[in-house]
Structure 1
């Protein structure tokens, strides 16, 4: 078999799972219920964030919080301050791709 297969979790509870972590890319699946999210942090690579379900509330650097609906794809530059959360009733599901993969 040439390909390697990865499987995402399907859940209604908070999930942050690193599906792929290699020298090329980090591919992360996240699920957040209302009031959940990530601690404020700085991006450690270029971040590509896809909203699979729900509405993403995100504050970047000194901007006010913006909201992005299902189907939105964000490109966030390296070293950007990020505040990611779900402030809505509907479950938020994201795919986050970091490329190139962050160097530890």
Structure 2
């Protein structure tokens, strides 16, 4: 078999999982319910964030809350303060890709 297969959790329970972590890319999957959030942190790589379902509420550096719906893809540069949360009833599901992979 040439390909390597990865699986991610399906469902509605809070999930934060690192699917791929190698020298090329970090590929993460997250599911957040209403009121759930990630700890505030600084981006440690160039980040691509895809909203698979729900609505993302995000504060970057000193900006006000911005909201992004399903199908939105954000590009966040390295060293940006991020506050990611779900303020809405529907389940929020994200794919977060960091490239190049943080050292």
| Same fold, TM-score > 0.5, yes or no | yes
Counterpart-to-counterpart distance in 2, 1:4 and 1:68: 32
TM-fit CA distance, 1:37: 1.3
TM-score (norm 2): 0.99
TM-fit CA distance, 1:79: 0.3
TM-score (norm 1): 0.98
Q: Is residue 2:25 matched to residue 1:25?
A: yes
Over the aligned positions, Cα root-mean-square deviation in angstroms equals 0.4
**How many pairs does the alignment contain?**
103
Counterpart-to-counterpart distance in 2, 1:35 and 1:90: 11
Unaligned runs of 5+ in 1: none
Counterpart-to-counterpart distance in 2, 1:73 and 1:24: 20
Unaligned runs of 5+ in 2: none
Instruction: Flag as ranges the 4+ runs of structure 1 deviating above 3 A.
Output: none
